[in-house]
């Protein structure tokens, strides 16, 4: 079975601060990894994904994430957040042998103060 843990439930930052959201997964094989974002009143949108290759992946709006296989981690980073980044962020894993089924973490609610 696959599982995802997001350690930070709520994060409050000031504009221009750096962001790192933790994500750890549990699965005994090859994985695909995703970060989705849910802005207030909007639907889940894909921020970035890792399928294979370079473990440092870049997504939209200046976000990036690094896959560290030895740590089963896929942390999300942004060097300088903006007020418009206020949203809920979800990490998700898809085990390669689990078909096209996503398992999500509990989410991290980010508030950026102007």
Contacting residue, 56, 60, 101, 111, with another protein by CB under 8 A: 101
- Check residue 84 for interaction with another protein (CB under 8 A): no
Binding test (CB under 8 A) with another protein, winner from 16, 39, 69, 96: 96
The count of residues interacting with another protein (CB under 8 A) is 27
- Where are any strands of DSSP class E within the chain? 3-5, 10-14, 19-21, 24-26, 31-38, 45-50, 56-58, 64-68, 73-78, 87-95, 103-104, 108-113
Kindly state whether residue 106 participates in binding another protein, applying the rule CB under 8 A. Answer: yes
Nearest distance in Å: CB 43, another protein: 4
CA pair distance 94, 46, nearest whole angstrom: 14
* Closer residue to another protein, CB minimum distance, 77 or 109: 109
Q: Per CB under 8 A, does 103 bind another protein?
A: yes
Cα 10 from Cα 86, distance rounded (Å): 11
């Amino acid at each position: 079975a696959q599982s995802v843990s997001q350690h930070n439930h709520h994060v409050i930052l000031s504009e221009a601060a750096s962001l790192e959201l933790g994500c750890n997964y549990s699965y005994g094989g090859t994985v695909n990894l995703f970060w989705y974002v849910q802005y207030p009143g909007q639907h889940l949108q894909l921020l970035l994904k890792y399928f294979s290759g370079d473990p440092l992946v870049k997504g939209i709006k200046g976000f990036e994430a690094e896959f560290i296989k030895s740590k089963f981690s896929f942390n999300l980073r942004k060097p300088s957040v903006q007020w418009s980044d206020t949203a809920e962020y979800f990490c998700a894993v898809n085990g390669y042998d689990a078909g096209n089924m996503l398992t999500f973490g509990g989410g991290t609610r980010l508030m950026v103060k102007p």
